[in-house]
Structure 1
Amino acid sequence: MLIVGLTGSIGMGKSTAAARFREHGIAVFDADAEVHRLYAGPIAVEIEQVFPGVTEGGVVNRAKLSQQLLGNPDRFKNLESIVHPRIRESERRFVQEEHARGAPIAVLEVPLLFEAGGFEKVDVIIVVSASSEVRRARVLPRPGMTETKFETIVHRQLSEAEKKKRADFVVDTNGTVANCNSQIDLIVGKLRERQGQAYDHYWRD
Structure 2
Amino acid sequence: MIVLGLTGSIGMGKSTTAKMFVEAGVPVHDSDAAVHRLYAGAATPLVEAAFPGTTVDGAVDRARLSSTVLGNPSAIKRLEQIVHPLVRADANAFVEDNRGRGSPLVVLDIPLLFETGGRNRVDKVVVVTAPADTQRARVLARPGMTAAKFAAILANQVPDAEKRRQADFIIDTGKGMAVARREVRRIIDTLTSKAEQNTAP
Cα deviation for residue 71 of structure 1 reads 4.7
State whether residues 21 and 184 of structure 1, in contact with CA within 8 Å, keep that contact through their aligned partners in structure 2: yes
Specify the alignment match of 1:73 in structure 2: 73
Sequence identity (%): 48
What does the per-residue CA deviation read over 1:52-108, in whole Å, with 9 as the maximum and x for residues that have no partner?
111111111111111111252321110011001101100110000000000000100
Specify the alignment match of 1:179 in structure 2: 179
What does the per-residue CA deviation read over 1:174-200, in whole Å, with 9 as the maximum and x for residues that have no partner?
02212211111111111112239xxxx
**SS of 1:158 mapped into structure 2:** coil
Q: How far apart, CA to CA, are the structure 1 residues paired with 2:12 and 2:137?
A: 11
**SS of 1:193 mapped into structure 2:** helix
TM-score by length of 2: 0.93
Specify the alignment match of 2:129 in structure 1: 129
What does the per-residue CA deviation read over 1:98-122, in whole Å, with 9 as the maximum and x for residues that have no partner?
0000000010000111111111121
Q: How far apart, CA to CA, are the structure 2 residues paired with 1:151 and 1:65?
A: 18
Once the two structures are superposed, the pairs formed by residues 48-197 of structure 1 within 5 Å of their partners are 48-195=48-195
Letter in 2 for 1:122: V
TM-score by length of 1: 0.92
Q: How far apart, CA to CA, are the structure 1 residues paired with 2:162 and 2:102?
A: 34
What does the per-residue CA deviation read over 1:16-42, in whole Å, with 9 as the maximum and x for residues that have no partner?
111111122110000011111111232
Please, which runs of 5 or more residues in structure 1 have no aligned partner? 197-205
Moved more, 27-36 or 62-71: 62-71
**SS of 2:174 mapped into structure 1:** coil
Letter in 1 for 2:88: R
What is the root-mean-square deviation of aligned Cα atoms in Å? 1.3
Specify the alignment match of 2:42 in structure 1: 42
Specify the alignment match of 2:19 in structure 1: 19
Which segments of structure 1 move beyond 6 Å, counting only runs of 4 or more?
A: none
Cα deviation for residue 9 of structure 1 reads 0.7
State whether residues 70 and 76 of structure 2, in contact with CA within 8 Å, keep that contact through their aligned partners in structure 1: no
Letter in 1 for 2:181: N
Q: How far apart, CA to CA, are the structure 1 residues paired with 2:18 and 2:177?
A: 12
Cα deviation for residue 144 of structure 1 reads 2.2
Q: How far apart, CA to CA, are the structure 1 residues paired with 2:83 and 2:160?
A: 24
Q: How far apart, CA to CA, are the structure 2 residues paired with 1:14 and 1:90?
A: 20
Specify the alignment match of 2:199 in structure 1: none
Specify the alignment match of 2:7 in structure 1: 7
State whether residues 71 and 152 of structure 2, in contact with CA within 8 Å, keep that contact through their aligned partners in structure 1: no
Please, which runs of 5 or more residues in structure 2 have no aligned partner? 197-201
Q: How far apart, CA to CA, are the structure 2 residues paired with 1:69 and 1:92?
A: 27
Matched positions, count: 196
Q: How far apart, CA to CA, are the structure 2 residues paired with 1:80 and 1:152?
A: 16
